[in-house]
Chain A
Amino acid sequence: MKNDSQNITLIINGVSKSLSVGKKESLLDALRSASYFSVKSGCDSGDCGVCTILMEGRPVRSCMIRAMEADGVNITTVEGLSQGEKLHPIQEAFIETGAVQCGFCTPSQVLVAKALLDENPNPSEEEVRGAMSGVLCRCTGYVRTTEAVLRAAAVLREGETEPVMIPQQILPAESKQITLPEAYYRKGGNTAPLPPLVFTPQEMSQTQVIGKPEVKVDAEKLVRGRPVFADDQQPEGLLYGALLTSPHAHARIVNIDASQARAMPGVHAVLTYEDIPRIKYASGGQSYPQPPPYDQVCLDNKVRHVGDRVAVVAAETKYLAENALRLIHVEYELLPLVLDPVEAMQEDAPVIHDEPDTEGIYDSQHNVVHRIDAQVGDVETAFSSAEHVLEGEYHTPKQQQAHLETHVCITYWDEDDRLVIRSSTQVPFHIRRMVAPLIGLPVKRIRVIKPRIGGGFGNKQELILEDLCAHLTLKTGRPVRMELTRRQEFSSTRSRHPNLVRYKIGVTNGKLVAADLYLLGDTGAYGAHGLTVQMVGGFKGLTLYNPPNARFVSDVVYTNKPPTGAFRGYGAMQCQFGIEVLMEEIAEQLNLDVVEFKRDNWLKIGEPMHMAKVLGEGREGFEQMLESSALEQCVDIGLEAMDFYAKREANRRQSGHLRRGMGIAVVMHGSGIAGLDMAAATLKMNDDGSFNLLMGATDLGTGSDTILAQIAAESLGIPVDDLIVYSSDTDFTPFDKGAYASSTTYISGGAVRKAALKIKIQIQEHAALMLDLDDPAKLELKDRKVLAPDGRSLTLEEVALNSLHQMNQHQIMATASHMSYKSPPPTAAQFAEIAVDIETGQITVERLLMVVDCGRVINPITAAGQVEGGMAQALGFALTEDMIFDVEGHLVNDRFGPYHIFKADEMPVMDVIFVQTDDPSGPYGAKSVAEISIDGVAPALVSALHDATSVWVRELPLYPEQVWQALQRKTDKEINNA
């Protein structure tokens, strides 16, 4: 028995379990120690709800209850819901509707749904959302989860329900005359979740597996709560790591005394900057060589933000490790700090990176990490001759990714003395390469395993914990687990770059002739992703409308705040906010129809993207031309679905304090980084005609495992079920750069398609041998068979058995790599309908509709999930999320609650419509969908706000006071002018 502990009995899923628990041990920790890994840790402060279990049938947060209080109580976890193989109808509904994305919050959502339906078998949508509001989800936007619960309720009442259907329509030649199914007009206040509507051009080729709403390959294990996440393994002899962080925004470490901590019983290692070699690196998980500067070391003798790394401890228990941190005595010499990027560039600003061993900083004395200056055409001449020159300045917030699974890493030596890193990471191959020099091991002695990931959104495209965890294993010889707390997620990981976006646009005869974009990026204390985020912002921000004369200048500046990094949208979101709002303002000033003004100017098929070559991502780019786009149709369909013009007309005649507004934005993104991103995939045929699909591609809940399997299945004429998907492990899967830059469908999909076509040839060749045919290419693969023109056929199983055991024995197997010098943009039109309270400034979003061209839609359910989740995150970007600091650089809102992410019961109606195109370079015509989904909401909301009130607000988030002040200024102006 542990010291200070007692024995309790929990009745878990009907089974009595005796546990020895510590006095302060939470029920969450006790359940996980007893191997109930479905119960998750997301915040330790009761804010997120992913630790929810049922206690006597009622939902409670296990992180807020002491284990001892639960003695003798009946507890239900999701492991207890299914009856052996048979899933509970709620679990089935979650799978069928696509409600499972990363799956981290899924067990708690399923349990809440169970409790609700036990009490109320016929809940309304509002009641479902109200019940689910205590579990945060960052992936789904709650659309499919709500649908899942309603569906499960119907099944439990009536015994069965209709299969999930995706409505399809042929895209007419003239999209302005389109009509939609009635439900998509949302008349009469219907708010029930709708499936995505898919428009397909008549001439687009048919597919068998692609385009179908296949169930995710990982969905079942996620709804069962199986132990598939990084922290769901507890190797023998595991030690617990903890991270000491700086309480100061800028200071030198004068002295660090860890002797008391080291002497503490149960503490196995304490590491400070004195114990670890000083090797410089950049923490962003990017392709080799990573863009400079290499401005970090594992543990430094200077701290540059509150939350910066100071020391690490490994101990027998989590509690011991945390207690040991308190015994590390650090003497700091406080330094002046600077929190504002404009101030940081001034002559007398404190120098944040004054160390002599960092190279590649543009101007360290003025804290300028990078200065980017790129131009095409003759901007000055174009402005001087333009009919109108208009300018606007916009500000975007420091938004945190807020994935529900915190960063967690386990490191251990395997039986071959190789270091294994099991990490919740988006970039396993980059991590392996980046960690190696930091810990003094060659790459070949390191293996990185990526299990299921509970969300990342870019924050796990980074070296955050792996090096420290590895150092502790090297020091102790034992497995070590490190997990960040939620507060540390806010203070010690990454966030979106807050930006000042300043545009100057020249217009003649309604056409953009010149554009100048200045982008000030606040990179925080370290520069990872600083260069590339701004370059992507510049490229996308000047390509959406593609004027022939364009200039991009950017300063990326250090401040004493937690560093920024990669976050879905990656600079494009910020700049498209600026350009879209300015286009609206220009249209107003020039008395132009805003939609037609945008239509006349947006990038068209066949046009070269002028900035593509000068603004690659971190280096020179490649010529690009738009080869596919359905933006016209996206806009027309959205105008129809929203009744855009009629509502805008009606909005002119409003009274009362609640005013309605209708807004629009058009956006584009990319599909991978041209000339840089590479992925590989391996297919291996098994005796029974099934295949192992081994990929380095990193599914972080996006469903990439599933859509990549669909691509392989389509090529091989088999169902997805015949593919055993394994991703991503540096020992067993081929290279993939990882999940970022919207590359997975386009680049990883390209690799899978190539591998599938290669293995298809091998199958055809062997089958031809078996059938004694001369021309293998004439053999068709369909329905798990090889079909000959003369009517004979072989099953794939027959081919497999024959090739492995009987004739010309060999393993039918293929590996292929793919990269592209193209990055075809998905395009989309975002619409928003809002109500604004003009007396308080509060905005209530009533409906969001995104009409998306992502090329061919591989899986409409997973693709819709990406769009819905992206819109939900964008709502936070636009309305509620900003990291706020006091004058000392401490975060004021470093927990959920004060940092508000949208909950299930406050979501607007969100609809998704796809307009398919057949991109010539994408696998089966596909482009990307993951990031474009987040780009449009903010400018569409500002557009709607203006429609409702005639005011422009150029700074996000749109807090009520900000809107109220803009309205006050407008009222004062009208009074003064009267």
Chain B
Amino acid sequence: MHTKQMKAIQVISSGEHKTLSIPADLPLQFVYKADQSHELFHQSLDRLSWQRRDETTVLYSILSPDMAPQWISALLALGAEVVFAEREQSTPLEDFLPRVGPHSGEITALRIPQDVPGRVWAEEYVSTAPSAAPIVSVFAVVDILEDTVQHARLALTGVWRENARLADAIQTLVGGPLNSKSIQRAANAVEAEVAPQSDFLGSSDYRRAMSAVLTRRVLDQCQNYAEKGDIT
């Protein structure tokens, strides 16, 4: 299975921008262990067993996103893009998953922006047990420069028909400060946007309520990190 020589994770520099390039044929275990990997990768891949990480490649995980929804969420929040052999232009993961935009061809890698100035991130979830599949989980990545939110991405699981998806409502933060008012506004907007389905682990009302609670928490954490200077 993994006996052939594999390419390693690389950091590619292009002018001021750096990108993490993860080969598509790399088992997730390699991503989990790699020094260059983002902290959110480790947190999200921790939900899979070692065996599953060894058996599953990056490619397989994005072709079957229900296998590891938290990992997909982390990728979405970090702005991952899918790279094809035949095309120079990559496809944002959030377009690839629903097969919107270019999505055919040989997938060679995932690219994730690296060392983005002012970037902070956080993850929260609620589950029946610490390692049980989350009922709702939220991954937030926010770029703050000079006290202004430049970019914000929020990926949630458990509140859509899909396994994982970005919330558009987080864009209410962009262009303004990250403070308790804007955070509450964003949480309310996310709560209004989500479309959860009920199941035995949580009703749609509960999931909707949790989307707001967890959004607020992840953004509170981002705010704390930004204020303390815990940023890339």
Contacts and interface: CB of A to CB of B under 8 A. Distances in A.
A879 to B, nearest CB: 6
A-B interface, 10 closest residue pairs, ranked by CB to CB distance from nearest:
A134-B49, A906-B130, A906-B131, A840-B126, A961-B206, A884-B200, A134-B51, A880-B128, A900-B132, A58-B54
B51 A49 contact: yes
A59 interface: yes
B127 interface: yes
A8 to B, nearest CB: 14
B115 interface: no
A837 interface: yes
B133 A897 contact: yes
Contacts of A893: 200
A587 interface: no
B201 A906 contact: no
Contact of A58 (B29, B129, B130): B29
A507 to B, nearest CB: 35
A959 B200 CA distance: 9
A69 interface: yes
A902 B129 contact: yes
A311 to B, nearest CB: 31
Contacts of B51: 46, 49, 52, 59-61, 112, 134
B52 A134 contact: yes
5 contacts: A64-B55, A130-B46, A840-B210, A900-B129, A906-B132
B55 A959 contact: no
B131 A842 contact: no
Given A906-B130, A961-B203, A65 B52 contact: no
A791 to B, nearest CB: 62
Nearest to B136: A840
A56 B54 CA distance: 11
B55 A905 contact: no
Contact of A844 (B54, B130, B206): B130
B52 A900 contact: no
Contacts of B1: 55-56, 60, 65, 69-70, 73
A46 B50 CA distance: 12
A663 interface: no
B195 interface: no
B228 interface: no
Given A61-B55, A840-B126, A880-B129, 16 more contacts: A55-B1, A59-B50, A64-B55, A65-B55, A70-B1, A112-B51, A134-B52, A837-B126, A879-B128, A879-B129, A880-B128, A893-B200, A897-B133, A906-B131, A959-B201, A960-B135
A131 B126 contact: no
A844 B127 CA distance: 10
B79 interface: no
Contacts of A73: 1, 3
A58 B52 contact: no
Among A837, A842, A882, A905, the one with the most B-chain Cβ atoms within 10 Å of its Cβ is A842
B202 interface: yes
Interface string B100-144: 000000000000000000000000001111111101000000000
Nearest to B49: A134
Contacts of A903: 131
Given A130-B46, A906-B130, A960-B135, A840 B213 contact: yes
A906 B55 contact: no
A842 B29 contact: no
Interface string B1-14: 11100000000000
Contacts of B131: 133, 903, 905-906
A172 to B, nearest CB: 38
B229 to A, nearest CB: 24
A842 B126 contact: yes
A900 B135 CA distance: 12
A340 interface: no
A839 interface: yes
A26 to B, nearest CB: 13
Contacts of A330: none
B130 A905 contact: yes
Interface string B43-86: 00010011110110000000000000000000000000000000
Contacts of B130: 844, 905-906
A879 B199 CA distance: 16
Contacts of A70: 1
Contacts of A898: 133
Interface string A899-924: 01011011000000000000000000
Nearest to A51: B51
Interface of A: 46, 49, 52, 55-56, 58-61, 64-65, 69-70, 72-73, 112, 115, 130-131, 133-134, 837, 839-842, 844, 875, 879-880, 882, 884, 892-893, 897-898, 900, 902-903, 905-906, 957, 959-961, 964-965
Contacts of B132: 880, 900, 906
Contact of B50 (A112, A840, A961): A112
A837 B55 CA distance: 35
A563 B39 CA distance: 47
B190 to A, nearest CB: 15
Contacts of B49: 49, 133-134
B67 to A, nearest CB: 10
A440 to B, nearest CB: 44
Contacts of A882: 200
A271 B128 CA distance: 43
Nearest to B132: A900
B3 A56 contact: yes
Contacts of B3: 56, 72-73
Contacts of A879: 128-129
A902 B187 CA distance: 32
Nearest to A61: B51
Given A61-B52, A69-B1, A133-B49, A892 B128 contact: no
A957 B200 CA distance: 11
B213 A839 contact: yes
Contacts of B55: 60-61, 64-65
A60 B54 contact: yes
A882 B199 CA distance: 13
Contacts of A65: 1, 55
A72 B133 CA distance: 35
Contacts of B213: 839-840
Contacts of B209: 964
Nearest to A112: B50
A59 B213 CA distance: 38
Contacts of B126: 837, 840-842, 960
A58 B33 CA distance: 13
Contacts of A72: 3
Contacts of B128: 842, 879-880, 900, 957, 959-960
Nearest to B203: A961
A842 B135 CA distance: 10
Contacts of A900: 128-129, 132-133
B154 to A, nearest CB: 17
A567 B200 CA distance: 23
Nearest to B209: A964
Nearest to B131: A906
B203 to A, nearest CB: 6
A72 B200 CA distance: 45
Contact of A134 (B50, B129, B135, B214): B50
B8 to A, nearest CB: 17
B74 to A, nearest CB: 18
A138 B18 CA distance: 47
A56 B6 CA distance: 14
Among A134, A840, A875, A964, the one with the most B-chain Cβ atoms within 10 Å of its Cβ is A840
B200 to A, nearest CB: 4
A133 B45 CA distance: 13
Nearest to B199: A892
A896 to B, nearest CB: 11
A143 B201 CA distance: 28
